[in-house]
Amino acid sequence: MAIQTLLWGTRLVGSVTLMLWIGGQSTSQTVTPPFFPIEEFNARSEAAMWLLRYDRAAWKTSDLVMHAPPHELQKLGPEWYCSESDRTWDCYYGRYEPEADRYTIVFHYRSVADGAFRRIEEMPAPDEATPYARALNRSRAAFPSEFKRQDFNFNAFVRRTATGQIEVWHLPAWQLDGTLISGGELCQTFESTGSKILETKSQYTGFRKIKPNTKTELELKSADPGIPTVGNLFFVLAYRDQFKAVSITSKRFITRRVSIPNLDDSWWHIAR
């Protein structure tokens, strides 16, 4: 009797993706794995890793901002962003004035050795910073109804794409009461000035509030029938240490992040 192939995984090694297969075959028939869209998964995984790096930079620098003098904090608005270049992060906190279409930066933090950040006086040119603040300001106003009606906080992530457009992501934040939230993500693509939305993509299965518990095995549902969404992957990367285990279930696969001694962490996918 043939042994069905049960499990495989993907692991990035430099720019190469290895497909790791666990399974078996009969003496007369080789078992072939089901189709897995590896290129799309790798693109989503890379986006989730960028979100994770952005999130860490935002956590560290927002803590620094909160220790600033009150007279400087009063100058801030809700539009702030982080930017990555050559493994260096720059985070900008200021105020965007829609009427004047002007972004004034109050704090600029840059990453240094050992993941720390320091405040620097150097500021980007207005035409470099304002498009990000403009996109952030207009992004929230264009929330879909299932996002707009929620009573919890979202985190915003913004970056310029390889084609020069501006991409804004919204994911549920880790709430002040300790609650985590899954079930929805939003990506809006703006033209290069951040003035007009060109495309909106949302994944929504119904928001679910979750209390971290290291004794709980958590299952996330993917809105994509094929593979995990970017938001699913980010949730696992950012919060899996808050649970005993976290898996992502789509129509065709179950995905987990696995730690193997002496190797980089790997994504493993189970065919359902």
Among 99, 258, 130, 116, which Cα is nearest to 194's? 130
pLDDT of residue 162: 94
pLDDT of residue 22: 41
Domain spans, the chain: 37-271
pLDDT of residue 2: 30
**Euclidean distance between CA atoms 125 and 183, whole angstroms:** 38
If you average pLDDT over residues 24-31, what whole number do you get? 40
What is the length of the chain? 272
If you average pLDDT over residues 166-173, what whole number do you get? 98
Tokens of 117: 């950040």
Q: Pick the more confident residue, 62 or 26.
A: 62
Alpha-carbon distances, residue 73 vs 64, 105, 238 (angstroms)? 11, 12, 28
Banded pLDDT at 126 (limits 50, 70, 90): confident
pLDDT of residue 264: 81
If you average pLDDT over residues 240-267, what whole number do you get? 90
